[in-house]
Amino acid sequence: MASSQDRQAKVIVGADGSDHSHAALEWAAAEAVRRGVPLHIVHALGMPLIVSAYGGPTRFGPTDEISDQATVVLTNAVAQVQKSQPTLEVDSLTALEEAPLALIRQAHPGDLIVLGTRGLGTVASMFVGSVSVRVAAQAPCPVVVVPSDDEGKPATTKLDRIVVGVDDSTTARRALGLAVSLAAEADAELVVVNSWEVVYPYDPVAMTAAGYLPQDNVFDKHSEELVAELIADVMDEQRDDVDIDVTVVRTRSNPVDALLEASASADAVVVGSRGRGTVRGLLLGSVSQGVLHRSKIPVVVLPKHADEDN
């Protein structure tokens, strides 16, 4: 059986005919060209499951009308890509499953999933971007969520400046590794952001007057050492020919605000995911989910188990 290293990597993008998916298609096509890999377009029907007392669950088949609508969606999606990237290899697929499952099943380590911020589900959800959250938490590869403007366009398809948030976690280390790889691929500038927010249980002015080292200085020094060590370790793991410009931003604010501020003039922001999926991931706040819901530029999420060979 062929391993993930033997198969050709690809960029996978969800399409449903909405403005959000148009933006995702445009970004995904540009990224597939940058990587020199095919683009795989997936349209998910979300057909219901039928459970029999004497057999396993099976998907309800689509009607001719639904099948015809799917054909139109994919034909238009392929035409959109071929118009902007005429030399790109493109294929398409209609899946019976709901969108998150369809996208995840098509992906392998080494691939990239791209989707819009909304519009990929057949059932309305009370949670904004629930499809994005589920795919970003559970996919076997990095996931890019592309916001769209009022005309269904992404803010940018470039990767000239990439922002990544780091802390002292394994998740952040892996996210930095992905950001370095993306920056090397696109010859981009990398901005590494580390932030901290401290609620003082005492009067910091009085403690400093009593001879204690100001806590802001302590955290600032710790941040400087942590980021320097993290960058050095990750760069040591890269190829010898990787040479990128790295800027460090250290700030005393909450991580979501820090990343959004640093990415105001960037083309993408990279975050890690600690693996909270499905309902739990929709209810619990996190840096990755906070950035996903507020970012105006593409967000690259590295799921907890992404790029692990099975």
**Would the pLDDT of 145 be above 70?**
yes
Reduced to 3 states, what is the DSSP secondary structure of residue 61?
coil
**Would the pLDDT of 206 be above 70?**
no
In this predicted structure, what is the pLDDT of residue 129? 53
Reduced to 3 states, what is the DSSP secondary structure of residue 75?
helix
Beta bridge partners of 15: none
Please, are residues 112 and 141 in contact by the beta-carbon 8 Å criterion?
Answer: yes
Q: Provide the mean pLDDT of the chain.
A: 83
How far apart CA 280 and CA 287 sit, in angstroms, is: 15
**Would the pLDDT of 131 be above 80?**
no
**Would the pLDDT of 125 be above 70?**
no
DSSP calls for 181-203: HHHHHHT-EEEEEEE-----SS-
**Would the pLDDT of 275 be above 50?**
no
Please, are residues 172 and 234 in contact by the beta-carbon 8 Å criterion?
Answer: no
In this predicted structure, what is the pLDDT of residue 210? 52
Under the banding of pLDDT at 50, 70 and 90, the label for residue 51 is confident
The secondary structure element, H or E, covering residue 103 is: helix 99-106
Closest C-alpha to 296, from 272, 247, 261, 271: 261
SS3 content of the chain, % helix, strand, coil (to 5): 40, 20, 45
Condensed to tens digits (0 to 9), the pLDDT of residues 147-167 reads 998 888 999 999 999 999 998
Nearest-Å Rg of the Cα atoms of the chain is: 21
Q: Which of these ranges, 12-16, 91-95, 180-184, 215-219, has the smallest mean pLDDT?
A: 215-219
* Cα 268 off chain centre by: 9
How is residue 307 annotated by DSSP?
A: T
Around Cβ 148, how many Cβ atoms within 10 Å?
22
Please, are residues 13 and 41 in contact by the beta-carbon 8 Å criterion?
Answer: yes
Q: Per the structure block, which two tokens stand in for 96?
A: 């019976």
Closest C-alpha to 270, from 188, 197, 196: 188
Return left, alpha or beta for 56; rule: phi > 0 is left, psi -120 to 50 is alpha, else beta. Answer: beta
How far apart CA 195 and CA 256 sit, in angstroms, is: 9
Q: Per the structure block, which two tokens stand in for 168?
A: 């002292």
What are phi and psi for residue 125, nearest 5 degrees? -120, 150
The secondary structure element, H or E, covering residue 179 is: helix 170-186
DSSP calls for 54-120: SS--EEPPPPHHHHHHHHHHHHHHHHHHHHH-TTS-EEEEEESS-HHHHHHHH--TT-EEEEESS--
